Amino acid sequence: MTLRAFPLLTSADVEAAAEFYALLGFVRHHRHPAEGTVSFVTLRRGATELAISAEAADASPDASGASRWRMFVFVEDVDATVERLAARGVAVLSPPADMPWGERVALVADPEHNPVALASTPHT
């Protein structure tokens, strides 16, 4: 498993957002689903990775200043990581769950209340 982290931008139009970042030198690396209307894409520019998702795209910044960005961090074991963070008082916004694309994902909040998605790939 490659441990990595990248920002995730939500967008009402994933394709248009991906095209914009392509103009800045990002190259498409992965898309979901493989065919049809794209709902998730990862782009790379050198060692930098960016993901764009339609998930929660209708949530515009609110009065608290929350944005459409979140950090996405891969960990060895999502369940164990969430348990350890919760024991330290970290807010768990969404418990670990299996996603249709094969990863297990949870959502926690950093000290400034920014959402941080934690993910792990299935152990094979």
Enumerate residues 6+ apart whose C-beta is below 8 A from 17: 9, 11, 52
93: which 2 tokens? 């916004």
Query: Are both 50 and 92 inside the same structural domain?
Result: no
Residue 5 lies in a domain: no
Q: What is the pLDDT of residues 6-55, one digit of tens each?
A: 898 888 889 988 988 898 788 999 999 989 999 999 999 899 899 999 87
Q: Give the HSE-up count for residue 79: Cα atoms under 13 Å, Cβ half-sphere.
A: 6
Model confidence at 1, pLDDT cuts 50, 70, 90, reads low
Question: What residue numbers bound the domain in which 120 lies?
Answer: 75-124
Distances (CA, A) of 94 to 97, 109, 118: 8, 10, 10
CATH code of 118's domain: 3.10.180.10
Query: Are both 19 and 39 inside the same structural domain?
Result: yes
Query: Are both 17 and 60 inside the same structural domain?
Result: yes
Instruction: Tell me which of 27, 47, 68 is where a domain ends.
Output: 68
| Per-residue model confidence (pLDDT) at position 2 | 75
Residue 7 lies in a domain: no
Residue 2 lies in a domain: no
Confidence (pTM): 0.65
Residue 91 lies in a domain: yes
| Per-residue model confidence (pLDDT) at position 123 | 64
Query: Are both 98 and 123 inside the same structural domain?
Result: yes
Residue 86 lies in a domain: yes
Residue 54 lies in a domain: yes
Order of strands, sheet of 104-109, starting from the edge strand that comes earlier in the sequence = 27-32, 40-45, 48-53, 5-10, 69-74, 115-120, 104-109, 92-98
